[in-house]
């Protein structure tokens, strides 16, 4: 079989072992970015080894990697010292802990807990947003030690454009956890933004089309459409231009255009974990072109 570049790819048999935990990357490239692979191997291996300690298992190591049609797989084989029946029970619990470890990371977004309330077997965890959830004690302990996403960090996952999802399978290849691509963004750690840097100000020169005017109160928001067809509201702060409106020197209608300097104010949203636009201000109108002049370009400009 060949990849997208025409190179021959040797497909290896699927991993099947009752003591295995399998990490399946669904990709058409039959390879993974080196950084993602390195980070994932470390996270996957340390998480499994850490959790086996709590379940009285002998240990584990990532010992199998395979390439198949449409995926790359990493397998960790769990070593056991118990009798067969007990081993299966412990490994089954381990699979549940792996799923819970992923859910805890997603809940905390890579941040330390704001507060923990331990009980006999479980811990109530509060995240930085004040939300609470309950997790097994050993899962919370392992998160504290490794701070691992288990499947790799969200930014590295998103950079692999042809990676459509990641699935954790048990030894019989039954899904334990499925993470589709649109979930990767939830694995990006919260950005720690100092209070004095919680707002961003951007200024640019733009050609805008007027969608809705507000002649009753020019200081209130007007609606504009940019060159990409995006419609938004903005406040005009050019006092000299507002004075021309008030005096009747300038008349507006839908479809007129302005060349302007616009300021965009963004504020960091801790829920979305990114900067979002809060308001836009038209600082200066450099040129105004009525719609009639756009239809009759031979007329002199204003």
Whether residue 62 is found in the same domain as residue 149: yes
Q: Which of 147, 167, 187 is the last residue of a domain?
A: 187
pTM for the model: 0.52
Question: Which tens digits make up the pLDDT trace of 180-225?
Answer: 988 887 777 766 555 556 788 888 989 999 998 877 776 788 999 9
Q: Which of 187, 206, 227 is the last residue of a domain?
A: 187
What does residue 25 show for φ and ψ, rounded to 5 degrees? -100, 115
Q: Is residue 6 part of a domain?
A: no
Residues spanned by the domain of 251: 195-295
Whether residue 34 is found in the same domain as residue 153: yes
Q: In this structure, are residues 218 and 239 in contact, taking their beta carbons and an 8 Å threshold?
A: no
Whether residue 233 is found in the same domain as residue 145: no
- Based on the structure, what is the number of domains in the chain? 2
Residue 124, pLDDT above cutoff 90: yes
Q: Print burial letters for 138-165: b (CB count within 10 Å at least 16), e (below 16).
A: bbbbbbeebebbbbbbbebbeebeebeb
Residue 109, pLDDT above cutoff 90: no
- Which tokens go with 275? 């900067």
- Which tokens go with 300? 């002199």
Q: Is residue 12 part of a domain?
A: no
Whether residue 26 is found in the same domain as residue 158: yes
Question: Which tens digits make up the pLDDT trace of 57-100?
Answer: 555 555 556 656 667 777 776 655 444 444 555 667 777 888 88
Q: Is residue 175 part of a domain?
A: yes
Q: Is residue 9 part of a domain?
A: no
Give, in degrees to the nearest 5, the angle at Cα 45 between 136 and 182.
Answer: 75
Whether residue 218 is found in the same domain as residue 167: no
Q: Is residue 218 part of a domain?
A: yes
């Amino acid at each position: 079989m060949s990849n997208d570049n025409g190179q021959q790819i040797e497909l290896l048999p699927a991993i099947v072992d009752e003591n295995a935990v399998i990490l399946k990357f669904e990709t058409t490239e039959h390879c993974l970015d080196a950084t993602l692979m390195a980070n994932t191997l470390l996270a996957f291996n340390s998480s499994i080894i850490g959790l086996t300690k709590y379940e009285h298992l002998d240990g584990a190591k990532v010992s199998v990697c395979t390439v198949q049609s449409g995926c790359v797989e990493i397998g960790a084989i769990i070593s056991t010292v118990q009798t067969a029946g007990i081993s299966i029970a412990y490994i089954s619990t381990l699979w549940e802990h792996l799923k819970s470890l992923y859910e805890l990371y997603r809940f905390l977004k890579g941040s330390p807990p704001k507060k923990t309330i331990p009980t006999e077997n479980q811990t109530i965890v509060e995240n930085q947003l004040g939300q609470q959830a309950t997790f097994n004690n050993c899962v919370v302990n392992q998160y504290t030690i490794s701070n691992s996403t288990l499947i790799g960090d969200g930014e590295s996952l998103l950079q692999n454009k042809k990676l459509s999802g990641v699935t954790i399978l048990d030894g019989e290849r039954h899904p334990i956890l499925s993470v589709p691509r649109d979930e990767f963004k939830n694995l990006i750690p919260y950005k720690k933004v100092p209070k004095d840097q919680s707002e961003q100000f951007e200024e640019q020169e733009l050609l805008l089309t007027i969608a809705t005017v507000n002649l009753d109160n020019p200081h209130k928001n007007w609606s504009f459409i940019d060159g990409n067809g995006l419609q938004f509201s903005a406040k005009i702060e050019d006092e000299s231009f507002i004075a021309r409106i008030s005096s009747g020197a300038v008349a507006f209608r839908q479809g007129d255009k302005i060349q302007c300097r616009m300021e965009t104010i963004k504020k960091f949203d801790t829920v979305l974990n990114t900067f979002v636009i809060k308001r836009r201000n038209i600082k200066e109108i450099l040129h105004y072109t009525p719609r009639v002049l756009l239809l009759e370009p031979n007329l002199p400009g204003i």
